[in-house]
Structure 1
Amino acid sequence: MPRALYTDYPWPDTSVEQSILDEADCQIVEAPTGDEETLARLAVDCDAIFTCWAQVTAKVLDAAPNCRHVSRTGIGLDNIDVERATERGMIVTNVPDYCIPEVAEHTMALLFALARNIHVHHKNTHANVYDIQSGATMERMEDQTVGVVGTGQIGKVFIQKCLGLGMRVVAHNRSQQVPAGVEWRGLNDLLAESDYVALLCPLTPETQGLMSGEQFARMKDSAFLINTSRGGLVDHAALAEALDAGQLAGAGLDVQVPEPPDLNVPPYNDPRVIVTPHAAFLSTRAVTELRTRVARQVVDFLQGRTPENIVNADRLA
């Protein structure tokens, strides 16, 4: 009977995946923890690996001589050693288009909350403070500038929502090709112009620590940072220092390093910061689609068909 290691998952059980894997008589092996030693031990006799956020390192892959498929239950691939998987002849798949509306909506929700002081007033009213003056000064969102770093599928949807609100949008990407109605900017210029900076780019060696002390110093002291992409894009210690120095007005963070972070330390305990628990991708529809599609990828692989979204197909011999 084939076996598939499930390294970690944020839903209650693996019933959706198992119901599909039954078509290939494949048994799920659920890892009790996502540490490297545990995953390497459990991967030994597995034919495939599902992973959500756990690190699938070279050690884990090397411990799995029968494994030929690693399926990411998500979009980003920064937690998988794709290079080592490719060297071992393993295909790597993901689901790059399952939660585009959800992440764009969550990014917009954080923008609204920050712009309108929702988080501050909510906390204050729960503390029996009913005072219109208790929050920071608010500006009309219409005509303010949103700087979008990354114009992939999610970035494009978010941009359209901002344009629909009458906001001005500038964007930064490598290609310098941006959607209609948007102006391209170098990162430094984008930071200096923007009232809101939304990070919607992948985590790569080039974007690791993209937002650090130098970048925060370039932002308006009235501007907000929003990150719904990957925690590694932001130096969180530098963000805490920048907030303390008044270099920006606040932040909305859905992704952190590590996860979960210590919520008792800056920037997470700063009242100007909204923290959500890596929830931007969540909706009933998105999660069902994700779980179904990754399981179908594994079944297709086990039954000799080509799964969708093989990210390393061009590098496999």
Structure 2
Amino acid sequence: MRIVFSDLDHASHDIEAEIFAKAGFEVPLLNCRSEVDLIEQVADADIVLNQYAPFTKRVFDALPRLKQVIRYGVGVNNVDLAAATAAGVQVCNVPDYGMHEVSDHALALTLAMVRKVVQMNASCRNGRWEYAEAIPIRRQSQMTVGLIGLGRIGKLYAHKAHSLGFSVIGYDPFYQPNAADNTDYIDAVTLEELYSRSDVVAIFCPLTNETRHMVGAGAFAGMKPHAYIVNTSRGGIIDEAALAEALSSGTIAGAALDTTEQEPLPKESPLWTLDNCLVTPHMAWYSEDAAEELKRKVAEEAVRFASGEAVNWPVNEVVR
């Protein structure tokens, strides 16, 4: 089988190359950015390691030889899963790398907002040494965090927030907190109740047609005026125009975003003008350890598939 990288913006792919070399594969690194690039450059590939290039129905229709696409990361929103399944292409991701990094980053953003760290750092640097500018700050044991999504990362964040004293509530139509996996301290609620009760709303669900812009004007109107929202999941889940309005009007107190609908966040976005909006550059996944784990697992999944073995992380179900 022929394996290729469709695209990759990492500084190196030495880890993958070593794994492939040991398995007897020479894997070229391509620079595909568009449907046309994929159709022209990947026609002779059976397996593709993919980062951003768009695998649409048009691409799958044009690549009858293709058998597997492996995404670098958890999300697969640049892959048309229905088209892949119809074409008999196995799509895989790496859902369990960097889980602690993302949950830690979400917690760091939560604490930065709740303790007003960035705001007070700026105040001190501007010559004002006055804690009263941070008023009000509340004790964490008197606060509630509400999680939208209780998958691997959401449950890790919940555990860490609970350990710091926060009360934890959660909404996930596919999961029920229980004692078997030590999540029975999470109070399962409706989405509307989560918005109304939470002091911090943290998002851990995937971006789908159903979740796109699910957190919009109606959601913000249902939140407490001192509430914060934290997103380390996918941009597009939050309606950013509605968020900017909610932040500027005081409907909610603040937002911390590691992902945005368009990345980088456009310079003309009104979110840049708001002091109560904290932005980081889609870095929640990152540590040196997580980066190495991702590279290794992507390459190993490709070798596994090429060798006729069962894959570890199928996203779709393909009949062969």
Give me the TM-score of the superposition, normalised by structure 1.
Answer: 0.93
What corresponds to 1:87 in structure 2? 86
1:248 to 252, 257, 260: 252
> Deviations along 1:202-237, whole A, 9 cap, x unmatched?
122221111011111111110000011111210001
Q: C-alpha root-mean-square deviation of aligned residues, in Å?
A: 1.8
Equivalences for residues 1-317 of structure 1 within 5 A: 2-9=2-9, 11-22=10-21, 23-31=23-31, 34-135=33-134, 137-175=136-174, 177-178=176-177, 179-313=183-317, 315-317=318-320
C-alpha displacement of 1:158:
0.9
C-alpha displacement of 1:105:
0.6
Deviates further, 121-130 or 303-312: 121-130
Deviates further, 258-267 or 157-166: 258-267
CA distance in 2, matches of 1:152, 1:39: 32
C-alpha displacement of 1:148:
0.8
Contact 2:90–2:316 under 8 Å retained in 1:
yes
CA distance in 2, matches of 1:87, 1:187: 33
List runs of 5+ in structure 1 lacking aligned partners.
Answer: none
What corresponds to 2:180 in structure 1? none
C-alpha displacement of 1:176:
5.9
Deviates further, 131-140 or 101-110: 131-140
| 1:168 partner letter | S
Deviates further, 43-52 or 93-102: 43-52
> Deviations along 1:92-150, whole A, 9 cap, x unmatched?
11111112111111110000000111111223334444433444522122220111111
Do the aligned partners of residues 243 and 85 (structure 1) sit closer, same or farther apart at CA in structure 2, a change above 3 Å counting?
Answer: same
Partner of 1:142, secondary structure, is helix
C-alpha displacement of 1:53:
3.4
| 1:27 partner letter | V
Contact 1:202–1:230 under 8 Å retained in 2:
yes
CA distance in 2, matches of 1:265, 1:123: 21
CA distance in 1, matches of 2:89, 2:128: 58
Aligned residues: 314
Do the aligned partners of residues 307 and 211 (structure 1) sit closer, same or farther apart at CA in structure 2, a change above 3 Å counting?
Answer: same
Deviates further, 274-283 or 42-51: 42-51
Do the aligned partners of residues 3 and 100 (structure 1) sit closer, same or farther apart at CA in structure 2, a change above 3 Å counting?
Answer: closer
| 1:48 partner letter | I
Identity across matched positions, percent = 33
CA distance in 1, matches of 2:49, 2:231: 26
| 2:238 partner letter | V
Partner of 2:226, secondary structure, is coil
CA distance in 2, matches of 1:3, 1:64: 14
| 1:221 partner letter | P
| 1:68 partner letter | K
Contact 2:248–2:274 under 8 Å retained in 1:
no
Contact 1:3–1:29 under 8 Å retained in 2:
no
> Deviations along 1:136-194, whole A, 9 cap, x unmatched?
52212222011111111111111111111121111111046122112111111110111
Deviates further, 272-281 or 63-72: 63-72
CA distance in 1, matches of 2:137, 2:230: 17
